[in-house]
Each structure stands twice: as structure tokens, then as C-alpha cells.
Amino acid sequence: MPSERKTQHKLYEADSRNLSIIEDSSVDLVVTSPPYPMIEMWDRLFFSFNKEIEEKMRINESMNAFELMHRELDKVWEECYRILKVGGIMCIVIGDAVRTIDGRFRLFSSHSRILAKAVQMGMYVLPSIIWNKPTNAPNKFLGSGTLPVGAYVKMEHEHILIFRKGDKRKFSGDDNILRRISSIFWEERNEWYSDIWRGVNGKRQGLNGEGSRNRSAGFPLEIPRRLISMFSSIEDTVFDPFLGEGTTVTASILLERNSVAVEIERDLIDQYCKNIVFQTNYLNKLIDERQMRHRDFIQKNSQNEWKYFNDFLKMPVVTANERWIQFNRLSEIVLKENGNNNVSELIAFYDEC
Ligand SMILES: C[S@@+](CC[C@H](N)C(=O)[O-])C[C@H]1O[C@@H](n2cnc3c(N)ncnc32)[C@H](O)[C@@H]1O
């Protein structure tokens, strides 16, 4: 029998440019990655949003096309702002694009365009992260190769932009307890709060023409896993306006957060629901590995005298706040029948230790 502890995950088939299905100030954190403007695999999607974009591309007005693509994404960012609670954080994973149009190679800087939009909406811009992606591709020359001056720098990073709506979130009562339980390990903190993330693999959206593409170009689970751990508490609600392969929802399940996500393609939602209900063992393995990593850290530094002890995990910890860390293994993920075709609802149940 499933235990009492559970989280809820609602997946809507909808267009995120209009999120009237979701109430104002109802989510604690947004973690997402949009279709990337000027990356070829998304051209047709942007053309379907606004025919003018296709026309601008046809006549090689690439910068105008780029701007119009972003105006479609702007509508999503405005909706995210509306549904975020005050003090809530928005993390956007975005890669800039390089592309040759009409014989001219250039950069289309999506991260700076989104940053400008966030400022215009009144969000606080927080320090961002460069996700440096290891690539197995052989040293590839762009442009004139070894000859100056027409060689181009190879892009091996994406941006993780971080914004806050309004003033810092305040915690009191039960919220404070959940915040403590959600604390992260000292050694995780040292790595995750760095402004360059290395060693997180992932092939994204065919940047630089590299890598295989799938239909949704998902990011690796480690990205939303870190962001959700860093910017929300257990039982918070995480929102993703671009579900794709559902990585943000999976990370929310793993971390005992609730989630809401939106996807324009119905079959991606169905596929996700069909798969995730069989992933309990895989997710539990990740939960166990986290605990093992901490044990390894303690063993490797066994010369230290540990001042604090976490009774729940039965392990020493470095800082006072880590004494409260708790995470539970999953017992079951269930797709709930709700008779509504436009929303699929998953419930994740946890073993309470
Ligand atoms: C870059 S992918 C998201 C990847 C996701 N973060 C993951 O890890 O799988 C973008 C997704 O957004 C969906 N999408 C694009 N425009 C949308 C819109 N206006 N509303 C809802 N979903 C949209 C696409 O179908 C695609 O699955």
C-alpha cells in the first residue's frame, strides 16, 4: 500500500503563451528550457506561432526573425512572472545560436535577449551559471581554421539565467521546517553554487550543428535536480512551461516537490506518463547514490573531527543546517484517472523512514 507522503504532478496540454489555466502567484519556482530561437530544429514551430517569422527568414532578415521569435517567448515569460509567487525564482536554461544566413555567419544571443526581457518585466537578475558542456567532438574549426582573422570561437556552453520576482522569500512556521529538511550537503553547495558547471553531460538542441537530436531536446536530469535543490523546498511547486521529455517533472518527483508543466504536443505528455510510472527503481538508485556520495566524502576526509551528526541519515555532516536533511525513497508513481483529456495527473508516493 502506498504511504501517506506524496507529491502531485499536473501536466497540461496547452500553449504556454497563454496560461489562464494556472492561477496568479501559485508556483514557487520555474525551471525550464524553451525552444531555442535560430536553432534550425525549432524554425517550423516558430513559423507556426507567427507567419511573419517565416517571411523574414525567406528574405534573409535574420535579426528581425530572431527578434520576432523572442517576442513569442516573451509571452511565456510574462505568464511565468504572473504565476510565480513573490520571492519565487525563475531559472531559464538557454543556448545562444550560431548560424550562417545569406552567406553571413553570426551569433544570435538569446541569453542577452531573455535577460533584457526579464529586466523589463521587473525581475531581479541574480548571478547566472555557465553550463560548460563536455563534448567528444574532435577539434572542429569554424571559419578560416588556423588562419587569422576569420576563425570563430567554438561554443561549448549554455547559460542558466536566474531571476527573482520581488523581494527575498520569507520563511516561518512549517515552511521553516521544510526548508531545513531541504538543506543540501556542504560539499554539494561548494560545487553547485559555482558560476561554472563542468562535467554535466548533455547534447542540446544541435548547437554548432553537433550531436544527435531528438524531438524535444531535453536537458540532463542533473541540471533541474541541482536548480530545484538550490531554489526550492520540499513540498514547493515547480513549474515548467516547456515539458518536452519531462526532465523538470522527474527532478521534482525525485526531490519531493510538486510540479506543474505544460506541453503543446499531446503525445509527449502521454509518452512521459507511460514511462515515468516504471522509473521508481531508477529514481531510488539516484537517491541512494546521493547518500553514498556523502558517505564517501565523509570517509575521504576521515582526518576531520565532525562537529555535527544527522540522525535521520545516521551520518556526520559539516554544518549545523545539514543535521536536518531528510530525503525519502519512492514507493510508487501512479497516473491518476481524472476524466479530463487536457490534464494528466501523476501522484508520487514515498516510503517514510
Ligand atoms: C527545449 S524543449 C524542452 C525540454 C525539456 N526541458 C526537457 O528536458 O525535456 C521545448 C519543448 O517545448 C514544447 N513547446 C514549444 N513551444 C511551446 C508552447 N508555446 N507551449 C507549450 N509547449 C511548447 C516543445 O514541443 C518541446 O517539447
Instruction: Write out the three cell numbers for 46.
Output: 516558430
Distance of alpha carbon 117 from alpha carbon 35, whole angstroms: 16
> Per-residue pLDDT tens for 18-62?
999 999 999 999 999 999 999 999 999 999 999 999 999 999 999
Whole-structure pTM value: 0.95
3-state helix, strand, coil in the chain (%, to 5): 35, 25, 40
Residue 220 has pLDDT above 70, yes or no: yes
CA neighbor of 77 nearest in space, from 97, 96, 91: 91
8 A C-beta contact, residue 61 and residue 108:
no
Instruction: Write out the three cell numbers for 258.
Output: 510538486
8 A C-beta contact, residue 263 and residue 247:
no
Give the atom of ligand 1 at the shortest distance from the alpha carbon of 219. 8
Q: What angle do CA 134, 138, 144 make, to 5 degrees?
A: 110
- Mean pLDDT calculated for residue range 276-282: 98
Please tell me the predicted confidence (pLDDT) of residue 252: 98
Q: Is residue 2 part of a domain?
A: no
| Single-letter amino acid code for the residue at 183 | S
Distance of alpha carbon 318 from alpha carbon 305, whole angstroms: 9
* Ligand 1 centroid to residue 242 C-alpha, Å: 4
- Mean pLDDT calculated for residue range 191-209: 76
8 A C-beta contact, residue 337 and residue 2:
no
Please tell me the predicted confidence (pLDDT) of residue 25: 98
Considering Cα of 198, then 147, then 138, then 104, what sign does the dihedral take?
positive
The stretches of 19-95 forming alpha helices (DSSP H) are 43-49, 51-58, 62-83
Q: Is residue 336 part of a domain?
A: no
| Lowest pLDDT segment from 126-140, 171-185, 262-276 | 126-140
* Ligand 1 centroid to residue 107 C-alpha, Å: 22
- The Cα diameter of the chain in Å comes to 68
Among 216, 239, 252, 275, which residue has the most ligand 1 atoms within 8 Å of its CB, making it the best to mutate? 216
* Ligand 1 centroid to residue 263 C-alpha, Å: 6
Q: Is the CB of 218 under 6 A from ligand 1?
A: yes
Q: Is the CB of 217 under 6 A from ligand 1?
A: yes
**How many domains in the chain?**
1
Q: How far is CA 310 from CA 181, 316, 320, 321, in A?
A: 11, 6, 9, 9
Q: What angle do CA 280, 285, 290 make, to 5 degrees?
A: 130
- Mean pLDDT calculated for residue range 113-135: 95
Q: Is residue 21 part of a domain?
A: yes
| R_g of the chain computed on alpha carbons | 21
Specify the higher pLDDT residue, 186 or 217. 186
Q: Is 250 in a helix, a strand, or coil? A: helix
pLDDT grade, residue 337 (50/70/90)?
confident
* Ligand 1 centroid to residue 139 C-alpha, Å: 31
Give the atom of ligand 1 at the shortest distance from the alpha carbon of 205. 1
Please tell me the predicted confidence (pLDDT) of residue 143: 85
Q: Is residue 48 part of a domain?
A: yes
Q: Is the CB of 269 under 6 A from ligand 1?
A: no
Please tell me the predicted confidence (pLDDT) of residue 1: 42
Q: Is residue 7 part of a domain?
A: no
Q: Is the CB of 244 under 6 A from ligand 1?
A: yes
Residue 96 has pLDDT above 70, yes or no: yes
Q: Is residue 299 part of a domain?
A: no
Q: Is the CB of 110 under 6 A from ligand 1?
A: no
Domain that holds residue 153: 12-279
* Ligand 1 centroid to residue 265 C-alpha, Å: 8
Q: Is the CB of 33 under 6 A from ligand 1?
A: yes
Please tell me the predicted confidence (pLDDT) of residue 214: 54
Q: Is the CB of 250 under 6 A from ligand 1?
A: no
Residue ID of nearest Cα to ligand 1 atom 17: 264
Instruction: Write out the three cell numbers for 185.
Output: 550537503
Q: Is residue 312 part of a domain?
A: no
Residue 264, domain CATH: 3.40.50.150
Please tell me the predicted confidence (pLDDT) of residue 206: 46
* Ligand 1 centroid to residue 250 C-alpha, Å: 15
Q: Is residue 56 part of a domain?
A: yes
